[in-house]
Structure formats: structure tokens, C-alpha cells
Structure 1
Amino acid sequence: MKLSPNHLKRYKEIARLLWKYGRSDLVQQIAAANDFDPAESGQVDAGGTPEQLAADLEAMGPTYVKLGQVLAGRPDLLPEAYVAALARLQDSVKPFPYAEVEQIVMSELGVRISKAFSRFDTEPMAAASLGQVHFAQLRDGRPVVVKVQRPNIRAQIADDFEVLGEIATFLDEHTAMGKRFRFSAVLEEFRQTIQDELNYQREVQNLIKLGENLREYPRIIVPQPVVDYSTSSVLTMDYVNGRKVTTLSPLARLDLEAAPLIEELFRSYLKQVLVDGIFHADPHPGNVFITDDGQIALLDLGMVGHVTPGMQDNLLKILLALSEGKGEEAAEIVIRISERVEGFDPSQFRRQISQLVATRRDRGLDQMKVGRSLLDVSQHARDSGLIVPSELTLLGKTLLQLDEVGRILDPEFDPNASIQRNVSELMSRRMKRDLSQGNLFSSLLEMKDFLGSLPGRLNRIMDAITDSQLQVKVKAVDADVVLEGMQKIANRITAGVVLAALIVGASLLMQVDTRFRILGYPGLAIVLFLAAAAGAFYLVGSIFLQDYRSRKRLRK
């Protein structure tokens, strides 16, 4: 596979970045397949600093800034120093000029800013990779914030993903790392996430949905959108008067009721994931505000995760297993829900996870970060040859960010204890949801169909038994192994019978007087005795040797 010539310039920038940060092997493999000299991309010696990586990604454009933001929440993929350096991309991105903001808002809303708003600040409150936020007031005096998408961002991101897609496909087809990590699938998930974030209408729906789901938590606020003032590129929503949790001073934290606040935040996220099936997937400290009246506001709902009911059950079991220090149980569930690749060793994976959880349990369950543990489990799974569901990794990243927020607000907060405290309520709510009126009627209809067809099925079975036509088909698992074992047993029994016959025959021949003698005894009888003895030693030795090998294999 060759890269498109139209993307060669962009590839050189990516190649330079890979080379600079220690992935020259990947650059050389791609270059060799495309008759390309890696030196043309202006590579420098490997050894770029974490701060330089953040600056390099920022210089390459919004797609790579967003990639850096995602990597900042994945300590399982990057060293801690790089995660810390990339974290600044979550808060500090260069804004674009107000003239472009004015043009985009007027084009999207169909009116001038002065007609739609009584106030619209020219300086942005914050700038992100895909857009920036301005404070404004509606004509009725209601304070709002207006998020405006960067100009021409969609075309630029589409072009960047075309380049990255070619490189990811090449790596998947030609490198061992690509075959294991499946870069194309990961990139497609990343592309879909950004596509969703670029559609502000989808974020409007997310704000409304999560606002309804979290209405029962008085300490949690989800700002609601102004639907008439929102389009796919402009989002207007309630203004939240507060501060990021990262900017709170120690004195301000003392004035907060931190323990119940973070407990309610954690409980609300468990409900989102394990009951509602839709959750805010980017709660990094830059997106969590503390309001002036001591509530928590969740911002930037462009990235949400979705969990199916079946996956909810599995995620709940994994969370419980990790929170209780049961590593082997967690490993079994991960194996069951993941896709296996060639070379996967279940025993080794179970040992790794058991050791990981045991090590952290020895430090104290109150010190175990559930999110970090989930990401470490995902990393071990990938290294062992498992393709884990994306929901598991996304949940790990989300809980890790919650851990960080929790430890900022309340260093004594124990997420493991919170999971165990709230699991009973979660299970009760899951059962009530499953016993909804629609599900109950569906179950009753299935029971009606079953009872209605049961007499006819029983009659057919009884007729088949009466006419001697009943057949039972058994599908054996590992039938070849079972047959081989039965054959070995039959061989041993046969050998024992033959040896017994030799001994009995030799005993009878001892009574027959012949000229052929050995040590004064009938020669033929002695020959049979010796053959029986040799056969017995061989049989006993083979049994002990095979048993030893079996025990050794099981210990591995």
C-alpha cells in the first residue's frame, strides 16, 4: 500500500513527530514501502520533551490538539510526564479573531449579533481545539454563553483524518504493532467522537438528556441549551457562575462540603453508566466547575459514552471485582467480553491481573484508583492479545478523571467504598427498569406463546418416544482431546491384560519339562516372565512420566 501523493506534505510532518519522539521504526517502514527518504521530512534526533510534544501538536492544528487532549486522559498509553504536559491543551488553546466569530454567528442564526443579544463580549472566556466560548446576554437579560465553532474546521479535520487513515491502514497491514492495536479501528472511534463534537445539535440533545437524568441530584447542575439560538456550529446555553476545580484555593475548599459533594458526583456517574446507559465521557477538571453556591456544574457535553444493557451488567461486575480486590474474577469477565487474537494466553492474563489487583490491594483498597485500574486492565489485555470493548476503556478514562476531581475536592474520598455503598441502589434501579410495563407485557406475551405451544411440543416428543424415533445429538467440546484420552485409557487396560496373560502363561509353562532351560527352569516360561517384567516396568514408567508432565503443564 502506498500513501496518496496529495498527502505527502502532511505525512512529512507526522513522520517528523514520530521520529522526534522515538518511533523512527514506524517512519522507516512506511518510507520503505513508499520510496520515500525519511530525511526529507527534516527529522531531528529522538528526545523531544513532553512540553515540546504539546507545542508540536498545537502547531499541527485542531485535530492533533484534540488528539493530545484525548491522550492526556490516557495514562495507560503515555508516561506521566507527557500526560501532565498534554493536560494544558485542555485549558489553553489560541483563540480565533472576533471578526470571524461575528460572521459565523450571523450566518448560522440569520441575524446580526446586536439583534439577537443585548451583550456579546468580544474577548472569549475560553478557547478549545474545536471552538471558543463567549459570554453574552439575551434580549430579556438572561446571561448565557455562546460556543462558536472554529471556521473551516470540518474540512480541515476531514483532510487530517484521510491522511491518518492511510497511515493507520498501512500500519495495520504491515506492522506487528498495527495487527495488535488495530489503529484503523481506534482511529475510526476517534473520528466518530470528533464528528459528534462538531455537531452542536447533538450536544444540545446531550445537555437536555443528561439534565433530565441527573435532575434527582440537587448538587449537580447541567446547563441547559437555548434551542432557538443553537445550530450545528453555534451553541447557546445557560451561563454558570463558578470556577474550575483546579483553580480552587485551599481556603475555598475548606468552605465546601466536599465529602457529600464528591459522593453525589460519583453516584451520579455510576447511575449514568450503569442505569441510564449514557454518560458524560469527558469530566476532566477543566470541565467541572464549582458554582458560587457550592454546586458542581458539568460542562462540555460534546463527548458522551453509550452503554448497552448487556455491557452494563459486565461493567458493573468488573467494577465490583476490582473494588473488592478480586483480580481473577475481573480477568474472567474481561476475557468473556473481549475478542481474542492469535497467541492469547488466558492463564498468563489471569495471573497478570490477579497480581496487579493484589499489589494494589496490599497498599489498601482505599488507595486504589478504580479508573486507573480499569485502564491498566485494558492495557494488559491488549498486550496479552485481547481486543477489549471501547466502552471499558472509555469508562476507565472517565473514572480516572473523576478520581482526579475527587482527590482535588476531598483527598480522603474512597471511590471503591462509594461503589460498594451504591451498588445495592443501582441493582435495585436496574431491576425496576427491567420490570417496566413494556418489558413486563413483552415477557407475558412470550410466556403466553410458550404455554400455548407447550402441549403440541410434548405430544410430538411422546410420539417420538413411543415410535422409537427419539434421537439425542450431543455436540462435544474438544472431542478430539476426549477421544485421545479414552484411547490412552483403553491402551493401558489392553497392555495390562496382555501382561497378565504373559504371567499366567509363564506360570503354566513352569510345569512343562523341556530340554531348553534357563538357570535350571523351563526356558520358555522364563522368557515369558522376563517379557512380562519388562512390559510392566515400561507401562508403570510411562504412567508416572505422563502424570509428571500433566502436573507440570497445569502449574504453568
Structure 2
Amino acid sequence: MLWETFSVVRDLSRLHDIASILIRYGWGDFVRVLGIGTVLERAGRILHWHAQPSEISQLEPAIRVRLALEELGPTFVKLGQVLATRVDLLPPAWIVELEKLQSNVPAVAFELIEAELVALLGKPIDEAFLKFDREPFAAASMAQVHRAELFDGTRVIVKIRRPGIDKKIEADLRILQHFARLIEHDMPEARRYQPTMMVAQFRRSLRREQDLLMEAHNIERFSQNFAGDETVHIPQVFWDYTCSTMNVQEELVGIAGTDLAAVRASGMDMPLLASRGADLVLKMILVHGYFHADPHPGNVIYLPGNRIGMIDFGMVGRLTDYRRQQLVNLLDALAHKDEEAMLQVLMDWTGDGEVDEAKLGYDVSELMFGYDNLQLKDVKIGAMLTEIAGLIRENSLVLPADLTLLFKALITLEGLGQQLDPEFHLVDHLTPFVRGVIAERYTPDALIKRGRRSLKDAFEVVAGLPRDLARLMREARRGHLRIDLDLKRLDQFGQQLDRASNRITMGILTASLVIGSSIVMTVDGWRFMGFIGFLLAFLNSLWVILSIWRSGN
């Protein structure tokens, strides 16, 4: 199966690089389990299984994973950054380590992108811009950014995708998809994490991030959502220069969110900045259902007048109205320490997954008990969400993908607010939003809308009943009616039955050998063959006894 999976010759070279790096950082067992070594050896490529330096072997596993991902390149760095949002899958120590992954890489020489830039602009660079800085001021794994100035004096940034990156990313994604299939096939304990689905989601996310036109549309939507809000500034997109491999947007001139000393020296109102930043992100999540998925300090610009500017809209999160209502229910349950309401939301999030409701309920009760004597203002939302993620992880549950980005955004938001204002409490800003969303549920318009939807759904069920019954009867007449039974532990029962039948067969063969050998021993000249038969019967008996002893049954 593995050889067929990796039969595409064009990926073998990249596969060899990946396997070599994994071995060097102490993950040779993973390479062996997936059978990658066998594949490469059949293709004539040799792996050095003892290439791990001694100093690397002393590092913690999380550090070795981070270093390996950094060396594996842009696709795997992005994968690590996505895994850093999976607080429901990885323990805090791993999250902290993966958060150190940086997309910053050496810039591509301008000469290598100049021809493509001219082709995209449709004119020489000097005719498109009054000024253009050929030295990039930022370079990431997917694109690099140059400062420029339009002929009307507007300062802009030109983001252009790195040339030749698409083929490498596609090869990496193919290999990751193969890895996921093999993990699901060979590691049953990993199936609950749905690795093939996770890789598919990562593929979609990465392709959206590669598409700079998609980022421009994201910026435009955020700009529309915050039109008229004087406390927020979203960059303007210049569509005449924008396509899938390049976008041009307004440069926000202010103080980077990472430079707290400069913010303090400027005399800005830091508590007000923290408050406005929290309200900005919470409005994205709870009102618009469309939020910046990575609101860390590097993506925030503080502007004159204590305004908040946001940049880098390549990664965004979306919430359906139903998911937003679930989130509000969870936050309301946290605020009011309502165990039953919180348990109900978590059960809804598990979907079709198997869950021990009694254990989950007990864990929720234990979590709430830890907050019993705390006043609402003292509750740290980020810490509580981290505990909930740990609770989900301990119960072998997996958060829906849209919620993992949300959890990470809220945890990051609280940390950012506390950097600006030690007295910042996210719960103080969260409570009014939650109350507002709950109040909106019971407005006349909302009640009428839900009533209409319920009536429509009920009517469609009743109206479709004759059709569904007719289809059911037709399938039954054709002999196509099928009932699927999912019997728990059936696989284990089959294995036990298989082992029992093997023992019975060996027992019958042993008895036959004893009887046959006894007959042969009575014939002159054949006694030696009878002795051989007895010896084989003895060995078979030992095998049966040993197998029974080892199984414990």
C-alpha cells in the first residue's frame, strides 16, 4: 500500500529530505512506523539512521519538533503554526514551543521578482509608482513586502508572492496527505483526531493564504464591517494593482504592537488601547462572526488618537450563526458558573464522537469548583479556555476546526490586553457583548424569524413524508433496502474467534499426529517416522499451551 501511495517519482526527492530531517531530530521511529525507509530504499535512496547529533537528543520532544518543522520549510512551518492553535489536541508546553515558529525567511533578491512584478503591473515599475523600495522591509515564507508610494503621495505596501513556491508546497501537501492516510491505516489510536480531515483543512487554509487576492477581499470585508468606527483603521486596498499573486494596500504608519516602550513613550492611553482592542475583536467574533484569527502584537499598529490598526488578514475565522449562539451559551455558562449549560454545549461540540458523559460531567463540575469563590472580574477567560481545552483533550474529544481558531484568538487577545494594561480583564468586555447577543434572541423580530424557520422546517418534513415513504418502499421492493448495524467490540470478538479456531485446528492436527504416529510405530521399518510424528505432536502441543498461557484466556 505504501509503495503505491508514494509511487509518484517526482515526490521521492522531497520525501527523502523530509525523512532525513526527521531522523536527524530524533523521529526515526516515526519514519519506520510509516515504512518510509522501505519506500526510499526500494527507490535506491539510502537513509542514515544514526545521523542524530548527541546535543539534539538531549532536547525536549517539543523543541525537536519545532526545529524539524523550521528546517522542513514553509509548508511545515505553517503546519506548526496551525497546530499551535490546537489547544484541544496539544498540551500547553507544546503550544508554547510551536508558537515560537516564525515565518520570517531571507528575502528573494529583487532581480528574481522584478520581471514578474512588471508583468503583473502591465507597465514598468517607475510608471506604476512614484517611489518603490527595492529592498523588502518584511519577508515571510509565502510572500515578501516592499514599501512604495503612489503618484498622489499615498504610502502603500506591495505584497508579492515568492516565485516558485507553489510547486514545493503542492509536493509537501501531497506527502502530508499520504502521511495522514497511513497514520489512520496503521495507528488506530490516532483515528479519533481525523488526520486526513485535518490535512484537508490545512490544505484549504494554506491555499487561501497563498491567494493574495483572497486576503484583499478579507480586508475589504473587515473594512465594510467597521465602516464609521473612528477607533479602528483597516488598510485600504488598491484593486488596480491587486491579483492572486500580488496585492497593494495602504501602509499604516504608527507604532508596532510589539514595541511597548515606544507606545509608552508616545503618551498614548494604554488602558484605552487595551479596551478598544478587546471590543474590536469581540465585535468581530460575536457580532460579525468573521474575525482576524491571529491578533498577536505583530499584527497590530497603534495609530495617533489611540486608534487601532490591524494588518495581515491572510488567516481569518468564520462562525455560523448557530456556532455563535453556542459560543455565547458557553461564555454565559462560564460567567454564571452553570455546569449543566456548559456540559450541554460541550456535548453539542462532540458531534457524533463517542464520549463518556458521566466523566465529562464530573470534569466540568471539577473545573467550575475551581472558580466558585472567584468574583467575575477575577476570572481569566484565557486561562479558563485553556482549562476547557485540556478537559476536552483529556476526554479524547476534538474541537470543531472553526472553534480552535476562536479559542486561540481569545487567549491571544487577553494576553495582548494585559501587556498594555495590567488591570485589564477580558471578562469585563465580554459580559456586555454576551448579554447583548442573548437579549437579541428575544426581540420580536428574532422570535418571528425563528418561528417562521421552525414552521418552514416542520412543513417541509410533513410535505416530504409521502415522498420518503414511497422511496423507502421502492428500495424495499428492489431488494436494495439495507440496515447497517454498528456492533461494539465486534472486531475484537472476530479476532478472538479467529484465535480460537486456530487453536482448535492445531489441536485436531496434534491428535491426528498422535494417532497416526501410534499406528506407524507398530510397522517394522517405519518406527523412526512414528517418532518424528510424536515429536511434531509434542511441539504442536507446546505451541497451543503457550498461546493459551500468553492470552490469559
Report the counterpart of residue 30 of structure 1 in structure 2. 34
Task: Kindly indicate whether residue 412 of structure 2 is the aligned counterpart of residue 419 of structure 1.
Answer: no
Aligned with residue 152 of structure 1, among 164, 177, 202: 164
Does the 8 A contact of 1:375 with 1:397 survive in 2? no
Distance 2:418 2:430 in 1: 16
The secondary structure found in structure 2 opposite 1:96 is coil
Report the counterpart of residue 539 of structure 2 in structure 1. none
Letter in 2 for 1:4: F
Q: CA deviation at 1:193?
A: 0.8
Structure 1 residues 309 and 168 mapped into 2: Cα distance closer, same or farther (>3 Å)?
same
Q: CA deviation at 1:144?
A: 0.6
Distance 2:161 2:352 in 1: 40
Does the 8 A contact of 2:295 with 2:413 survive in 1? yes
Report the counterpart of residue 522 of structure 2 in structure 1. none
Q: CA deviation at 1:280?
A: 1.2
Letter in 2 for 1:162: R
Letter in 2 for 1:93: V
Report the counterpart of residue 332 of structure 2 in structure 1. 320
Structure 1 residues 309 and 31 mapped into 2: Cα distance closer, same or farther (>3 Å)?
same
Distance 1:244 1:443 in 2: 47
Q: CA deviation at 1:419?
A: 1.1
Report the counterpart of residue 516 of structure 1 in structure 2. none
The secondary structure found in structure 1 opposite 2:166 is helix
Query: 1:375-403 CA distances to partner (integer Å, 9 max, x unpaired)?
Result: 54344324423333212211101111112
The secondary structure found in structure 2 opposite 1:240 is coil
Report the counterpart of residue 11 of structure 1 in structure 2. 15
Structure 1 residues 372 and 231 mapped into 2: Cα distance closer, same or farther (>3 Å)?
farther
Query: 1:235-273 CA distances to partner (integer Å, 9 max, x unpaired)?
Result: 101110122222121771782223333223222322222
Distance 2:65 2:131 in 1: 39
Does the 8 A contact of 2:272 with 2:306 survive in 1? no
Report the counterpart of residue 479 of structure 2 in structure 1. none
TM-score normalized by the length of structure 1: 0.72
Distance 1:127 1:28 in 2: 36
Aligned with residue 421 of structure 2, among 396, 410, 420: 410
Aligned with residue 358 of structure 1, among 344, 364, 369: 369
Task: Kindly indicate whether residue 267 of structure 2 is the aligned counterpart of residue 255 of structure 1.
Answer: yes
Structure 1 residues 101 and 333 mapped into 2: Cα distance closer, same or farther (>3 Å)?
same
Does the 8 A contact of 1:20 with 1:47 survive in 2? no
Distance 1:322 1:223 in 2: 35
Report the counterpart of residue 303 of structure 1 in structure 2. 315
Letter in 2 for 1:26: F
Does the 8 A contact of 1:168 with 1:178 survive in 2? no
The secondary structure found in structure 2 opposite 1:223 is coil
Does the 8 A contact of 1:217 with 1:264 survive in 2? no
Structure 1 residues 32 and 261 mapped into 2: Cα distance closer, same or farther (>3 Å)?
closer
| Greater alpha carbon shift after TM alignment, 84-93 vs 384-393 | 84-93
Distance 1:221 1:407 in 2: 22
Report the counterpart of residue 346 of structure 1 in structure 2. 357
Aligned with residue 148 of structure 2, among 125, 136, 157: 136
Query: 1:329-387 CA distances to partner (integer Å, 9 max, x unpaired)?
Result: 32321112322434x21111222233234335667654544345335434432442333
Higher-RCO chain (CA-CA 8 Å, sequence separation at least 6) = 2
Report the counterpart of residue 185 of structure 1 in structure 2. 197
Distance 1:430 1:47 in 2: 56
The secondary structure found in structure 1 opposite 2:258 is helix
Q: Which runs of 5+ in 2 are unaligned?
A: 464-553
Letter in 1 for 2:435: S
Does the 8 A contact of 1:118 with 1:138 survive in 2? yes
The secondary structure found in structure 1 opposite 2:35 is helix
TM-score normalized by the length of structure 2: 0.72
Distance 1:125 1:433 in 2: 53
The 5 A counterparts of 1:483-498 are none
Distance 1:314 1:414 in 2: 22
Distance 1:339 1:33 in 2: 38
Structure 1 residues 402 and 60 mapped into 2: Cα distance closer, same or farther (>3 Å)?
same
The secondary structure found in structure 2 opposite 1:144 is strand
Aligned with residue 239 of structure 2, among 204, 208, 227: 227
Query: 1:275-310 CA distances to partner (integer Å, 9 max, x unpaired)?
Result: 222111111221111124421111111111111111
The 5 A counterparts of 1:60-209 are 60-74=72-86, 83-84=95-96, 86-90=98-102, 92-209=104-221
Q: CA deviation at 1:95?
A: 1.6
Distance 2:374 2:38 in 1: 51
Structure 1 residues 434 and 243 mapped into 2: Cα distance closer, same or farther (>3 Å)?
farther
Report the counterpart of residue 258 of structure 2 in structure 1. 246
Query: 1:429-463 CA distances to partner (integer Å, 9 max, x unpaired)?
Result: 566796599x599679969x99xx9xxxxxxxxxx
The secondary structure found in structure 2 opposite 1:249 is helix
Q: Which runs of 5+ in 1 are unaligned?
A: 454-556
Structure 1 residues 298 and 340 mapped into 2: Cα distance closer, same or farther (>3 Å)?
same
RMSD: 3.5
Larger gyration radius, structure 1 or structure 2: 1
Distance 2:444 2:14 in 1: 50
Q: CA deviation at 1:153?
A: 1.8
Distance 1:35 1:131 in 2: 34
Does the 8 A contact of 2:328 with 2:438 survive in 1? no
Distance 2:130 2:372 in 1: 57
Task: Kindly indicate whether residue 376 of structure 2 is the aligned counterpart of residue 374 of structure 1.
Answer: no
Q: Give the paired residue count.
A: 449
Letter in 2 for 1:255: G
Distance 2:102 2:336 in 1: 33
Distance 1:210 1:20 in 2: 44
Structure 1 residues 272 and 27 mapped into 2: Cα distance closer, same or farther (>3 Å)?
same
Distance 2:309 2:365 in 1: 37
Structure 1 residues 295 and 64 mapped into 2: Cα distance closer, same or farther (>3 Å)?
same
Letter in 1 for 2:120: E
Distance 2:160 2:444 in 1: 38
Distance 1:73 1:244 in 2: 23
Q: CA deviation at 1:18?
A: 4.7
Structure 1 residues 387 and 81 mapped into 2: Cα distance closer, same or farther (>3 Å)?
closer
Letter in 2 for 1:204: A
Structure 1 residues 364 and 208 mapped into 2: Cα distance closer, same or farther (>3 Å)?
same
Q: CA deviation at 1:182?
A: 1.1
Distance 2:267 2:368 in 1: 36
Query: Sequence identity of aligned pairs in percent?
Result: 30
Letter in 1 for 2:32: Q
Distance 2:112 2:36 in 1: 43
Does the 8 A contact of 2:25 with 2:64 survive in 1? no
Letter in 2 for 1:347: A
Does the 8 A contact of 1:69 with 1:86 survive in 2? yes
Distance 1:98 1:220 in 2: 34
Task: Kindly indicate whether residue 229 of structure 2 is the aligned counterpart of residue 217 of structure 1.
Answer: yes
Distance 2:184 2:77 in 1: 24
Distance 2:337 2:51 in 1: 46
Structure 1 residues 216 and 372 mapped into 2: Cα distance closer, same or farther (>3 Å)?
farther
